[in-house]
Amino acid sequence: MTKEATLEPELSHPMEELLRMDRIPHIWCPTCGLGTVVTAFASAIQKLEIGLDDIAVVSGIGCTGRVAGYVKIDSFHTTHGRAIPFATGLHLANPKLKTVVISGDGDLISIGGNHFIHAARRNIDLTVICVNNFIYAMTGGQVAPTTPLTANASTMPYGNFEQPFSIPYLADSCGAVYVARWSALHVRRLVTAIAEAIAKPGFSVVEVISPCSTLYSRRNRLGTGLDLMRFYHDNCEIKHGADTRELEIKFQEKITVGKFIDRDRPTFVQSMNNWYGKVFGDEYEPYEGAVE
């Protein structure tokens, strides 16, 4: 292979048909894991062979919130914490559309925490990809509800003393039907998990531990995103079916990853149709969407 060919590839990147190339390069920092998560998401769509017109992405605000702007499918960049309610509306208007929420830990679990727990409780047929970088990154490294104890954040300059949420435990206890956690380094398993989550009817959650080099790792003197990837490599322990009560992430300690929950429960629309079918009998026409 000649160097000229390397510099100017004649072929295009296989992700290009799934990306808004007129917006690349993206805004994410060097050694941020978000680009990898986008590739994993796009690969999962390809793996499932979903038509690109049959899937939509909703994001909230923050670094991960920008994912919606880069994927070339129907995509919505909404307000802080409100990706899930927006996606709920989208899904209920057209349940045939696969609706995926891709947003960050601060967005989904803090300001959007109530939406998260109730969407899980109601088992709305959404796939939530929650990219967890342990911090509010876009706004300057403020403490998030996922920041591990003792980790430094701009609003916790002496270290965090607030107990963080464990996303898989939260999702499990609220009734999510599929819960997995992987790191951005476990990219192949992540593709499988996202594909399984999208295919699964009901509220499915994939937490992705992803490096934030500019804020989380710099404030905590952990090196670059590459050093965090090395940390995941050495410290992630795969434990499928692990008890979600034991998935707490402690600062720079072992991270348990894997597929924890995969169960069946009627979705919101199924429950509604089943119930009204019982109450009204044949008079009830099952709801299949408002879009002709």
Partner 1 sequence: MPQDLPAGPKSTTAKYWRKPLDADTVKVPHGELHIVVNRCKGCLFCVEYCPREVLEMSQDFNVKGYHYPEVSKDDACVNCGLCEMLCPEFAIFCVLEEEGGGGEA
Partner 2 sequence: MMENLGLGIMMEVPTVIINVQRGGPSTGLPTLPAQADIMQARWGSHGDYELIAVAPSSPQESFDYMIMAFNLSEKYRVPTLVMMDECVGHMTEKIVIPEPEEIEITPRKLYDGPKDEYLPYRPDEDMVPWMVRAGDGYRFHTTGLTHDERGYPAMNAECQHELVTRLMDKIRTKADEIAVLEEDEVDGADVVVISYGISSRVAIPAVERARAEGVKVGSLRMVTVWPFPENRMRELAKEVGALVVVELNMGQMYYEVERVAAGNAKTILVPHAGGWVHDSEDIYQAIKGGAR
Read off the DSSP letter of residue 141. Answer: S
Q: Among positive and negative, which fits the CA dihedral 62, 84, 76, 26?
A: positive
Q: Are 65 and 27 in contact (CB under 8 A)?
A: no
Question: What x-and-dash track marks residues 184-203 binding partner 1 by CB under 8 A?
Answer: -x-xx--x------------
Name the minimum Å distance from CB 33 to partner 1: 6
At 261, give phi and psi (nearest 5°).
-130, 135
Q: Are 142 and 62 in contact (CB under 8 A)?
A: no
CA 18, CA 70: separation in Å to the nearest integer? 9
Name the minimum Å distance from CB 175 to partner 1: 32
* Binding partner at 159 among partner 2, partner 1, none, C-beta below 5 to 8 Å by kind: none
* 290 is a site residue for partner 1 (CB under 8 A): no
Give the amino acid at 96. Answer: K
CA 161, CA 9: separation in Å to the nearest integer? 50
At 111, give phi and psi (nearest 5°).
-65, -30
| Nearest of 12, 35, 27, 225 to residue 134 by alpha carbon | 225
Give the amino acid at 45. Answer: I
Q: Between β-strands 135-136 and 178-183, what pairing exists: parallel, antiparallel or unpaired?
A: unpaired
Name the minimum Å distance from CB 23 to partner 1: 11
CA 217, CA 137: separation in Å to the nearest integer? 11
* Binding partner at 188 among partner 1, partner 2, none, C-beta below 5 to 8 Å by kind: partner 1
Residue 270 is inside which H or E element, if any?
Answer: helix 268-280
Cβ proximity to partner 2: between 79 and 139 the closer is 79
Name the minimum Å distance from CB 113 to partner 2: 16
What token pair was written down for 60?
A: 């909230």
Name the minimum Å distance from CB 81 to partner 2: 9
Cβ proximity to partner 1: between 216 and 268 the closer is 216
Name the minimum Å distance from CB 272 to partner 2: 21
Name the minimum Å distance from CB 71 to partner 1: 12
Q: Which of 36, 78, 160, 214 binds partner 1 (CB under 8 A)?
A: 36
* Binding partner at 240 among partner 2, partner 1, none, C-beta below 5 to 8 Å by kind: none
Question: What x-and-dash track marks residues 216-255 binding partner 1 by CB under 8 A?
Answer: --------xxx--xx-------------------------
Read off the DSSP letter of residue 204. Answer: E
Cβ proximity to partner 1: between 223 and 266 the closer is 223
Cβ proximity to partner 2: between 15 and 193 the closer is 15
Binding site for partner 1 (CB under 8 A): 1, 3, 5-7, 9, 11, 13-16, 19, 24-26, 28-36, 38-40, 43, 185, 187-188, 191, 224-226, 229-230
